Every structure is written in structure tokens, then in C-alpha cells.
Amino acid sequence: MQIAKHSLLNSPIYWLQAAIFTQPLEQEKQGLLDLISAQQNNFKQADERFLALKKLHQFIASSHFARREKLSLDYDQVRIQPNANPLLSGALTLQLPARPHQVFVLGAVKNSGAVTWEERKSADDYLEQAETISASDNNTAIVIQPDGRIESHPVAYWNSRYHAIAPGAIIYLPFTGWFSDFEQVNQMVVELLKERVL
């Protein structure tokens, strides 16, 4: 078993982001990178959509992805319930991170990347900071919580309400527009981001 590199002895484990990963998802990652590149070709280099797609491409290219096992790593639950502690075999990666101090904002925004996490901040607060582009879904953001759960958070002025966002979450604002490939890009990005290895 491989243990993902984290300062295990220096800080407490952030159990919400702890995970066990199996096979790498290199083929899925490359497929998404190719799709984003093809989508970029529809726009001029100064276009805000081109620039947002370029930043998304860079984030995906610099990240690692592997299949996340659907197991709770809650220490108490694993000790009490034998079926919550199954025997695993094969090449595994155990991720035991320290608690992060940021969230990531990606997608149809001008300033994508890491943003400092703040208590009681909602998705629309982070998106306002990241500055949405015109080709964005202004109604709903997709939040990938640190445990891989995918949530839809309403962010329009008429439907906005508070939903908690945990440290280490990824906020993805989907692209919209005339090109139908945006829908496929959005779908593939969300599916891959929930399998991100730190």
C-alpha cells in the first residue's frame, strides 16, 4: 500500500478528506484534457472562455486522479462495525491529509484556483471573488466536498441560500453556451474531480 505524502506526524488527520484510492484514471484524465483543448479551439486566445478553459486545463493536467473506494474512514465506525472495515487487496493509495485552509474555484470564472476558506461563506461568495464569465451557469454551482460527495448549490440572486462548504472542497461553475460540448466538458470535469488525489 502506498501512503499519499502528507505530514502525518505533525498535524491531525482531516478525516473528511481521508480516502483509499485504487487504479489511476490516466485515460479519463487525458480524454478530458483533449476535450478541453478541442473546445478551446472554438475561441480566440483573448476570449474569456478560452482563458477560463486554459486555466481549467492547467488544473486538470497538474492533478492526479484515481478511483476512490466508497468506504468511510471514520475511525469509530470502522472499530465498531466489522462490515465497515472490509479486507482490501491490490495496489492502493491511502490519503491521510492535514486539514486544508482553502477551497478551489474552477470552471467559468476569471480567477480560478485556490481561495482561502472562510467559515459561513457560500458558493456564491466564492464565485463573486473569482469573478464569473458571461458563459457561466448563473443558477447553480457544483460543489465537490472533500469526501467526494457532489452537491448542487443554487447561486442566483433569486434562488441563493446558504449551504456549508468544507475546507478542501472544489467549487465548479459550469460553462454554458451555443456549443453542446460544454455539457460534456462539465459532466466529465465533475466526475473526475471527485476522484482527485491530493
- Each domain of the chain, given as residue ranges in start order, spans 2-196
- Provide mean pLDDT across the span 164-173: 97
Distances (CA, A) of 150 to 42, 67, 87, 195: 29, 15, 27, 11
- Provide mean pLDDT across the span 38-53: 94
Q: Which architecture does CATH list for 2-196?
A: Roll (3.10)
Q: Is the dihedral of CA 16, 7, 68, 150 positive or negative?
A: positive
Split at pLDDT 50, 70, 90, the class of 72 is confident
Instruction: Annotate the chain with DSSP letters as a single string.
Output: -EE----TTTS-B-GGG-EEEEEE-HHHHHHHHHHHHHHHTTS-TTSHHHHHHHHHHHHHHH-EEEEEP-----HHHHHH-GGGS----SS-EEE-PBPPSEEEEEESBSS-EEEE--TT--HHHHHHHH-B-TTB-SSEEEEE-TTS-EEEEE-STTT-------TT-EEEE-B-SS-THHHHHHHHHHHHHTTEE-
- Provide mean pLDDT across the span 70-90: 80
* Bridge partners of residue 13, in order along the sequence: 98
On the question of pLDDT at 1 being above 70, the answer is: no
Q: Which three cell numbers stand for residue 113?
A: 484556483
Q: Given this model, what pLDDT does residue 29 score?
A: 98
- Give residues with Cβ within 8 angstroms of 105, minimum separation 6: 111, 112, 113, 115, 126, 127, 129, 130, 170, 171, 173
Q: Given this model, what pLDDT does residue 73 score?
A: 79
On the question of pLDDT at 78 being above 90, the answer is: no
Q: Given this model, what pLDDT does residue 173 score?
A: 97
Task: Of 193, 190, 187, give the one whose Cα is nearest residue 168.
Answer: 193
Provide the angle, in degrees to the nearest 10, between the axes of the packed helices 26-40 and 181-193: 150
On the question of pLDDT at 172 being above 70, the answer is: yes
Q: Given this model, what pLDDT does residue 80 score?
A: 87
Contact 197, 4 (CB under 8 A): yes
Nearest-angstrom CA–CA distance, 47 and 41: 11
**Weakest-pLDDT range from 96-105, 150-159, 184-193:** 150-159
Q: Which three cell numbers stand for residue 52?
A: 477560463
> 126-152 pLDDT, tens per residue?
999 999 999 998 899 999 999 999 999
